[in-house]
Amino acid sequence: MTERNLILSLFDIGAVRFGSFKLKSGIESPIYLDLRRMVSFPKLLVNIAEALHSQMRDFSFDFICGVPYTALPIATAISIQHNLPMLLMRKERKKYGTGQLLEGVFEKGQRCFLIEDVVTSGASLIETAASIREEGLVVEEGIVLVDRCQGGISALKNKGLRVHPILSLLQITDVLEEERKIESSTASAVKKFLQENQVC
């Protein structure tokens, strides 16, 4: 699936929405990405997984790990489709059983490649990378489906994590405008927002 078709498919399932949305950071945004919807569309989920995997082939790693929670199904699809060992990161350390935060069979010094759905500030990736590093694994690279173009990629690089985006918010907006899925005024509002909040 081409990047253009992937963007159109995300729009068709309502994973890309326009209006006024308050982000986790507190910023009001004219565009919202709800990629959790992809779990109800298995063929699209596989296409997303394949788009990410095609960009992962040049990297060397022992495991993949999806950032909780939306990236977990993507990582699982990649793991199953390409027989890649996966680790599971919990949001919180469980207070029973083994008390593990990172689930799976691994050894210190092994390399872990992170998978994320969207990067805004990069906070979730930074937190996940730090937790995995505490377990003795090496985390230097990752991939993300969409960069919201708000400084997250640069922030991650400063933390020793190179994250490679497949799509950007600007690219998504341009394609939807070209395909007449959104009005020019809507596209202009998004571009203005990006200009004011660290553009790609």
Q: What is the pLDDT of residue 93?
A: 61
pLDDT at 98: 60
Query: What is the per-residue burial (b if ≥16 Cβ within 10 Å, else e) of 126-159?
Result: bebbebbeebebebebbbbbbbbbbbbbebbeee
Q: Which residue has the tokens 């997303």?
A: 48
Which of 8, 6, 71 is CA-nearest to residue 35?
71
Q: Provide the pLDDT for residue 39.
A: 97
Q: Tell the burial category of 32 from Cβ atoms under 10 Å away from its Cβ (0-12, 13-18, 19+).
A: middle
CATH, residue 189:
3.40.50.2020
Which pLDDT value is given to residue 91?
Answer: 76
Cβ atoms within 10 Å of 71's Cβ, excluding its own? 27
Containing domain of residue 72, as a range? 3-196
- Report the domain count for the chain: 1
- The pTM (predicted TM-score) of the whole model is 0.94
Q: Which of 1, 3, 47 is nearest to 179 (CA)?
A: 3
Classify 19 as helix, strand or coil: strand
pLDDT tens for each residue of the chain, 200 residues long: 999 999 999 999 999 999 999 987 788 999 999 999 999 999 999 999 999 999 999 999 999 999 999 999 999 999 999 999 999 998 766 666 566 889 999 999 999 999 999 999 999 999 999 999 999 999 999 999 999 999 999 999 999 999 999 999 999 999 999 999 999 999 999 999 999 987 55
Residue type, 4: R
**What is the pLDDT at residue 94?**
62
